[in-house]
Amino acid sequence: MKIKPYEEKFRAQMISLWERSVRDTHKFVSPDDIEYFKTLVAGIDFRLFQVYCCVNEDENLIGFIGVAENKIEMLFLEPRQIGKGNGKVLLEFAIQDLGATEVDVNEQNVNAVRFYSKFGFRTYDRTELDPEGKKYPILKMRLSLS
C-alpha cells in the first residue's frame, strides 16, 4: 500500500469509491440524498485540497483523504478495505504530515465517531443539520493533546 498525492487519473475511481463507501457505512442517509451528495462530490475540484490516495501495488484505489488547512474534509475507504488498517494509515498521515487537527463527523456514523475518538479526537460542538441543511447531525471533533 502506498500513499500518493491526488492525480486526475484517480478522479473517477474516487467518486465511485465514495459512493460505495457511503452506501456501505451511511445507512442512515436516504438514497435520494446519496444521489444529491454524489452530484456535489462529482463537482469537487480535488486540487483545492491536500488530497492523498491510498493505492495498492496495482495502483488501484483503496481509499483517500482530503485536508483543507487543518481540517479533514473527507476520508473514504473501499468497503472491503475497512478494518484493515488503511484508515489508520491515512489518518496518521493527515495528522503528522498535513497538520490535521479537526474533522466533522455524521453523528449517526457511530463507527466513524469511534474511529476518530480512538485516535484522540473529542467532540467540541454539535449541529443539528449538516452543511447542506439536511437533518444529519454533525459532531465537530478536535484532536486532543491530552
Antiparallel, parallel or unpaired: β 102-106 and 61-68: unpaired
Query: What pLDDT sits at residue 128?
Result: 97
The model's pTM is 0.93
Residue 146, pLDDT score: 60
Fold of 2-143: Aminopeptidase (3.40.630)
What is the amino acid identity at position 96? Q
* For the chain, the helix, strand and coil percentages under 3-state DSSP, each to the nearest 5: 40, 30, 30
| Predicted pLDDT of residue 13 | 94
User: How much of the chain exceeds pLDDT 90, in percent?
Assistant: 92
> Residue range 73-97: average pLDDT?
95
Residues 141-145, mean pLDDT to the nearest whole number: 91
Please state, rounded to an integer, the average pLDDT across all residues of the chain. 95
Residue range 91-119: mean pLDDT, rounded: 96
Q: Which three cell numbers stand for residue 35?
A: 444521489
The radius of gyration of the chain from alpha carbons, rounded to an integer in Å, stands at: 14
Q: Is the pLDDT of residue 123 over 70?
A: yes
Work out the average pLDDT over 110-134.
96
* Domain residue spans of the chain: 2-143
Answer whether residue 114 shows pLDDT above 80.
Answer: yes
**DSSP state, residue 35:** H
3-27 residues labelled b (16+ CB within 10 A) or e (exposed): beebeeebeebbeebbbebbeebbe
